[in-house]
A and B are shown apart, each in its own frame.
Chain A
């Protein structure tokens, strides 16, 4: 068994029991990257020297008997998280040489937990995209079939975990950018509640919707990681002081709860094979004596329209600082998708249009939030497909932005409402992975992990 194919839980235990060292584990990952990544293109930067240095430190700490939740564990970081001294590009040529002066809060927390950061992963430029193809550093490929997209925007992070190049990777989910690639790459992806994890030091896309999460091989690992990254941050005013539970400890505390099936997520447009797969997963819970009820989220059909007003509005403001005056290249380095969103957002915020677009979208947002509030009065969690389709071929939708936007139709509502979602693999269709998402109330990650973990345990392949 190769060390790099272990999960976090297993590796932490083995490192503690001195079965191998962090250096050996990190070397195994670096080796795998060398073997696979020329083809898959999931990394923009591999920090071999830094990673080995961190691993050495971890080994010393392990020897000293120090206990840390991620001590010596090699992980990758989406290249939109600022890493002090390590190039951070956001997948854009604008920042192709940008070396940050500070670490994102999540990066600091990962270091403090003993993690080894192996490198920075590829993504759609500025996290704009659903396929990974908008990266200015070339598309990432789906490890299950290299002709297919891995999903985006956190494409490289999903692929690096799916192909055992690291044990876990961070991502950001503004409209589905973690859950979609997780489902396309057969890994577990968590989009936490908005504000659960600090956004400080992560390049902003849509500030009111950016959620900071991660990819792991198991639900348990996802819980371990969230216990590290979650919590109030004095540098992010949108992180409320809600207590961070020990997500790992409570994994097995699942009660027989009520599961809601939102009928709008199974409507036309959904690939019938995906429908069938998700329904099978729901059946699993039914057999285990969970109560299943149908739920309606009536404003689901307006989610994409609402999202494509709010998100570009915020994007147009957030990208204003990249003017090439103090760092980075000038605006001529922006590619089509960023330009499209800057123009859309500038338009929707313009006086005379603000009321018709932005203000109206905010009203729709309130309605979508209310849909979920009502739903969670009836059900404890919701189960739904992540994507209406299985992965598509590279290049298939690049000329049709609208078709690309619609691939987020089932993920975007959770971002609009700020609720958490856990994407869990549920099998394959034509040898390509499929996932389901479990959605819950704000700050109900504990319950989502319990559900995901229960499913995972009952459906081991």
Chain B
């Protein structure tokens, strides 16, 4: 028995305009059917004009995943009927996608093969309301990249890590926010257990978080194993994850592969790349998460835990590096900054790197103070302020703050609470 899991991931690109028209892609939360035109509504006579930026970004993602970029590629029509698909076909890529044969390496050294990365258009959105179904075409035609892995996973944890890495890469490339809550990243695992009598594959949909994907896969593996243990073969089908019930439920039984009657999209001339064009796209790829992670360890003498947290998001990594630069002139070390950011989690939108360094200096003075000197000062203050001391002893709580103030006047930058504590102990 062997667990076999493959993954199809869809990522919406955040280009300004849609894949084949000039409508904006920023549809989330907008009034239905306001971001539309003849093209994305699939009206008679409308034709697709491919968005070059989206194509370049698709190739960029492919390159970041170590894919090969064939010099010839084309769009195809995937024909099927569904109310959210206004043309009766989706413009997608069939046998000659933009990117093939890449891989992502997981932290345990395991390599997950990327079979293909291709470009297509998103569909409209069906909204089921009060017994009727409404269609919103604002999403129709938004550029969508599909990333298909080889069936290289054998556990849910690896799937989760792969997804996090993929999301991280898309965000690093700044081609998508890959926000699962907004449907900008959608996952469809294919799960099966080899060793049953017949070959089958179960696809799970409706998964909108990384933790759900883990749960759904584990649930599926258990469910399928039980069926196999009973001497039967699980049905080939599409199931959906039901978070309330914490289980997958059958949605659609697939007897055989759907026949989408693919054929080359005649409205879009094939794409012929030159090597310099591809190199140019490659040059636009800045440091990727894995490289940055390794460099941070090397350059800032961080441990892998710290480096992982600091490079998880590009914003934070950039912020950290800015702070390190400022820190250098104030003799604040890269490690100190890393510790502070990881432990205190400052709001990097609010606190400027220079301000952060000031904070670190302040807080570190407290810890650096010579304990002997502090005790000496406190004793002096107690000796010289007999009235305040007796007031405090007679129950006047406030009096202690006067003593604290006296200490702070002599040694600034101290944590007042710490001083207060020490004084009360001495009295």
> Residues of A with Cβ closer than 8 Å to B?
81-82, 88, 90, 95, 98, 100-102, 104, 199-204, 206-208, 234-238, 313-314, 316-317, 319-321, 323, 325-327, 346, 349-351, 354, 358
Contact = CB atoms under 8 A, between A and B. Distances in A.
Nearest to B261: A349
A101 B44 contact: no
B45 A238 contact: no
A82 B44 contact: yes
B49 A100 contact: no
A349 B263 contact: yes
B88 A101 contact: no
| A82, A237, A313, A327: most-surrounded residue (chain B CB, <10 A) | A237
Contacts of B38: 101-102, 201
A351 B49 contact: no
B106 interface: no
B88 A201 contact: no
B267 interface: yes
B87 A82 contact: no
Contacts, number: 96
Contact of A317 (B43, B48, B261): B261
A95 B263 contact: no
Interface string B50-86: 1000000000000000000000000001010101001
Contacts of A354: 261-263
Contacts of B39: 235
B267 A207 contact: yes
B45 A82 contact: yes
Given A317-B261, A326-B86, A238 B269 contact: yes
A234 B257 CA distance: 37
Q: How large is the interface on B (under 10, 10 to 19, 20 to 34, 35 or more residues)?
A: 20 to 34
B47 interface: yes
A321 B47 contact: no
A200 B46 contact: yes
A320 B259 contact: no
The 10 closest A-B pairs by CB, nearest first: A320-B88, A208-B266, A349-B261, A207-B266, A201-B45, A203-B44, A321-B88, A82-B45, A321-B87, A351-B259
B227 interface: no
B263 A102 contact: no
Given A101-B38, A102-B38, A237-B269, A317 B45 contact: no
A350 B259 contact: yes
Contacts of A326: 41, 86
A199 B47 contact: yes
Q: Is the interface of B mostly helix, strand, loop or mixed?
A: loop
Given A237-B50, A238-B267, A321 B86 contact: yes
Contacts of B87: 320-321
Contacts of A320: 79, 81, 87-89
Contacts of A317: 77, 79, 88-89, 261, 263
A101 B39 CA distance: 12
Contacts of B267: 204, 207, 236-238
B263 to A, nearest CB: 5
Contacts of A104: 45
A346 B83 CA distance: 19
Contacts of B46: 200-201
Nearest to A90: B44
Contacts of A204: 44-45, 47, 267
B268 interface: yes
A237 B48 contact: yes
A200 B47 contact: yes
Contacts of B266: 206-208, 238, 314
Nearest to A208: B266
Contacts of A327: 43
B289 interface: no
Nearest to B37: A102
B42 interface: yes
| A98, A235, A346, A354: most-surrounded residue (chain B CB, <10 A) | A235
